[in-house]
Amino acid sequence: MIRNILASLGFWQGAMVLAMPLVAWVSGAPGWAVGVIALLSFAVVLMSILYQVAVRRSVRKTLQAFKDFTGQDLRCRGIGLRYYLLCMRRAIKEMGGLLKEARRAESEALKSIYSTGYGVLFVDSGARIILANERARELIGAEEGRRLWEVPGAAKGLVESAERAFGSGRKAGAEFLAVFPERRWLRADIVPWPRERFLIILEDITPLKDTEGIKSRLVSSASHELRTPLTVIRGYLEMASDPGISEEAKANALETALRHTKRLSQLVEDILTLSRMESVPPKVEPVDPRKLLSEAQELFRPRAKEKGLELRVSLENLPSEVRLDPGMIETALYNLLDNAVKFTQKGFVELRAWAEGEWLYISVSDTGPGIPPDDLPRIFERFYKGRLTSQAEIPGTGLGLSIAKWAVSAHGGEILAESKVGEGTRFTIKLPLV
């Protein structure tokens, strides 16, 4: 006990406190003075003991909390206040290092989130924006310091979902249409964050919504396009089965039904081709562009000759090898050549290919009737048939150019159209060489 007392006071200070009454008695001080000094010494020792007990208890609680938080067990070696304080200092230093590491990890996590293509917002429980990355500013015009409902692009769906998350403290999500700074569909995930904050992640799902709309329109258009030839076929077959009609009328009815059956078969084949292209990525392989174009030339030369058209071919500065999906590009090229030969009544069809910089260009030109300016922006839409096509009653499914555009786009390229009514049309395929 005396050792603990001396250690808690410091050895020399403890020795002096305990020796003071003895020194006073030896020096001949009055008895009452010796008693007062002894009482004061006792009080000092008692306060020291109580202080040591309190410090020891506090240190033990701190070390237990440290162990619970970190899993480490710090043991204090030695006796007395000095050792306890050294132990506390060590624990505080360890905690500081862990806290610094946690903040660094949080900072790295935030940087990773901020650098993605998602809009990221941190808001407090009052919906005030604490942090907003550049993508969030682009998507909804978010600004730090403003409340969520004050943001121009924050639609009702986002605000209601955020309020639901704030009230429940649980994750919430929403899809909503933002009209600022431009019209687009967004998806928001709202996640609780430490210190009564919430993380809002915004994703632009406009392409997904557009795809859903395209699929819906495709189903609707396909149903309509399929219904027409089926109705015609049924009508002519019923006519042919009538025992009261002549053999000549029956033959004409069967011939018409067969013609519409071929149209129906081509329509189904085009729909399946487009569906396959959308679901399967290009299977690129080394291809000799001269061979691919020569095969296309040989395939369409008889048809052009039959109509009295000249099929011109010009191949300039082509590489010996390009990487592409031959099936997809052949389909796109054949659709362009098929249209050129089909719509051109006199003159020529020209197939031209050349390399320039990092791009391969393939153009198909004709001297056909051309495409009116009003129709030109819509010619790549599915099932769309221009005014001149409809008036001329030229057979077709309205999917050929859509298929061509999809095949080229899947390779990272583009397809361009130029036309003048009465002079002809030129389609140009642009494909990357690398």
Report the sign of the C-alpha dihedral through residues 122, 124, 125, 128, in that order: negative
Note the pLDDT tens digit of each residue in 139-182: 888 888 898 888 888 777 888 888 888 888 888 888 888 877 78
pLDDT at 100 over 50: yes
The reported pLDDT for the residue numbered 360 is: 93
**How many Cα atoms sit within 13 Å of 1 on the Cβ side?**
4
132-136, 269-273, 379-383, 429-433: the lowest-pLDDT one: 269-273
- The number of residues in the chain equals 434
pTM higher than 0.85, yes or no?
no
The reported pLDDT for the residue numbered 11 is: 47
Q: Is 351 helix (H, G, I), strand (E, B) or coil?
A: strand
Model confidence band, residue 85 (pLDDT cutoffs 50, 70, 90): low
Most confident of 1-5, 187-191, 252-256: 187-191
Model confidence band, residue 425 (pLDDT cutoffs 50, 70, 90): very high
**Tokens standing for residue 133:** 């990355």
Model confidence band, residue 353 (pLDDT cutoffs 50, 70, 90): very high
Domains and CATH numbers, the chain: 2-100 (no CATH), 116-204 (3.30.450.20), 207-280 (1.10.287.130), 281-434 (3.30.565.10)
The reported pLDDT for the residue numbered 390 is: 47
- 335-351 as b/e, with b when 16 or more CB fall inside 10 Å? bbbbbbbbbbeeeebbb
How far apart CA 204 and CA 119 sit, in angstroms, is 9
How far apart CA 133 and CA 44 sit, in angstroms, is 61
| Per-chain mean pLDDT for the chain | 78
Percentage with pLDDT > 90 across the chain = 12
Neighbours of 210 (CB within 10 A): 12
From residue 44, alpha-carbon distances to 20, 27, 30, 32, 50 in Å are: 12, 22, 21, 18, 10
What is the phi-psi region of residue 195: left when phi exceeds 0, alpha when psi lies from -120 to 50, beta otherwise?
Answer: left
DSSP secondary structure code for residue 419 in this structure: E
**Tokens standing for residue 395:** 């057979």
Tokens 């069809």 belong to residue: 349
DSSP secondary structure code for residue 215 in this structure: H
**Tokens standing for residue 245:** 């009609």
Note the pLDDT tens digit of each residue in 304-329: 999 999 999 998 888 889 999 888 89
Model confidence band, residue 17 (pLDDT cutoffs 50, 70, 90): low
Task: Tell me which of 153 and 215 has the higher pLDDT.
Answer: 153
**Tokens standing for residue 297:** 């030339």
Model confidence band, residue 276 (pLDDT cutoffs 50, 70, 90): low
427 phi, psi to nearest 5 deg: -110, 135
Q: Is 125 helix (H, G, I), strand (E, B) or coil?
A: coil
The reported pLDDT for the residue numbered 8 is: 47
- Helices 400-409, 247-279: crossing angle, 10 deg rounding: 20
